[in-house]
Amino acid sequence: MRTRYAVGLWAVAVLALTSAGAAAITDPVRVEQGLLAGTAGTSADIRVYRGIPFAAPPVGDLRWKAPQPAAAWQGTRQATEFSNACWQTQYPAAAAIYQAKLPPLSEDCLYLNIWTSAKSAKDRLPVMVWIHGGGFTRGFSGTKSYDGEILAHKGTVIVTINYRLGVFGFFAHPDLSAESKYHVSGNYALLDQIAALQWVQKNIAAFGGDPSRVTIFGESAGSWAVNALMASPLAKGLFQRAIGESGGSFSPMKTLADAEKEGEKLASSFLPAPTAVKDEAGQTAAPKNILKALRARPAEELLKAAELETVRPLVDGWVLPQDVATIFSQGRQNDVPLIVGYNADEGTTLAPQGANLKAILFVGGIHQRYGAYADPMLKIYPAASDEQAVTSFYSAYRDQVFGWEMRTWARLAAKTGHQPAYLYYFSRRPPGPQSAKLRAFHASEIAYVFGNFAWPFPWEDADKKLSDAITSYWVNFAATGNPNGGSLIKWPAYNAKDDEAMEFGDQIAVHPEINKAGLDFFDGYYQSLSSMKKNGAAPAATK
């Protein structure tokens, strides 16, 4: 289902534009490549460094290869302007998050940005590394919504990173796997994120950050990335805490073999038909220059050919040795303190067509897709009227695509690890004329997490108060691995027996068993699918 992996729409930040750079005014900071000069923030106690390269441009022969180290430079580099955005397609003009102008697009996009309140390198402040959302096909680290100044004011060093998107970040092909030292292809976006975290480990102390207290956090596709990085042995030791906002990968994942087949099909769509050649045994062999031909294709052409493709991390045997669910169930994840959660109305912006759904179509669709599970599902998500069908559609969408993933993540981390997990449920509806329609939509928590309220809504004092609490929980967690402190309402660590979550809504309060009936249904549904797959049977819901 394309919608499942095209989420993250609002993570691009509603109408968010890049911030303008300013003249370099900070004293130079030395990183491994050379000297950097940044700018002051809107207040003089914040230093901002934009457009820092953490890897070499993945262009030419480096397209679809693991990121290579960034080159050194002479003199002082002016880190005053955001970099290019990675190649992506603009949203349709009718989309709610349409932007009239994207930042300049380029494959030369592997850069990061830093906000710090540290007075010197000796401050050793906790570090938070943001991984943006956008369905792995869109997004940019320099959007105004991700401005790190408010979080930096609370005593952290904030880092936002770019990573390759779409066909440039996830294209797999047998020839790419053959040329790889590890015989894999396809997870280049995750490798970019790992390279950025390696750069942070080597250099963040120069900005007053503590490399032993790094928190990775992200929303939607950024949260899927956090989930995958927790599961990846290549990311071991690169972070010490994790926060996932609306995105996990505990449902079935794509294998390398499947991704390579899709890659061959895609490649054939934008390459001329090759002349078949015979090997020594007389068998038809693939042409030797296919990768050269693919890498010679203009980026715009590749983007257009692949714009309808679904992209996501895959089980390649190296970056992800097994699927995320298996790694967590066996307790082999990078075991760190964890915050995870989701929003009350995830589907209102991701599946707007649901607002016009008729009961007869909803019921028919449930029977077609879920087969033997349809009747018990309709007891939880009834459709006695068109209005009830719309409500049930959005509840089921939220619970399956996001709620089940996030509760599963918390449960497995709490069960198989030795570090605490904390579950949240975001239900605050941003104010304004769209509030009744969109409610607590996908990514609406981002404004509260960053506290800069860049979106053009009529924000109220209640929103700012809620944001102050959320930023405090997040910063406390980054500092200690525990979100609690001061006068904040105590947030209990998650356990499956009590099934408690912190609700961030009009009030902040701990509640047990939020959306329990639906989440338990999908527990049983996915367990059945997994069992049938192991036994070689076709799941009843898909026959």
Catalytic residues: 220, 346, 442
H-helix or E-strand containing 285?
strand 284-285
Q: How many C-alpha atoms does 361 have within 13 Å on its Cβ side? A: 10
User: What is the Cα–Cα distance from 491 to 489, expressed in whole angstroms?
Assistant: 6
Q: DSSP secondary structure string, 504-517? A: ESSSEEEEESTTHH
| Residue 130 CA from chain centroid, whole number | 9
User: What is the Cα–Cα distance from 175 to 188, expressed in whole angstroms?
Assistant: 15
* Beta-strand pair 29-31/39-40: unpaired
Tokens read off for 440: 């607590």
| Residue 17 CA from chain centroid, whole number | 19
Cβ atoms < 10 Å from Cβ of 471: 19
Give helix 359-370 / helix 386-397 axis angle, nearest 10°: 40
Q: DSSP secondary structure string, 6-69? A: S--GGGG-TT--BPPP----SPPEEETTEEEE-EE-SSTT-EEEEEEE-S----GGGTTS---P
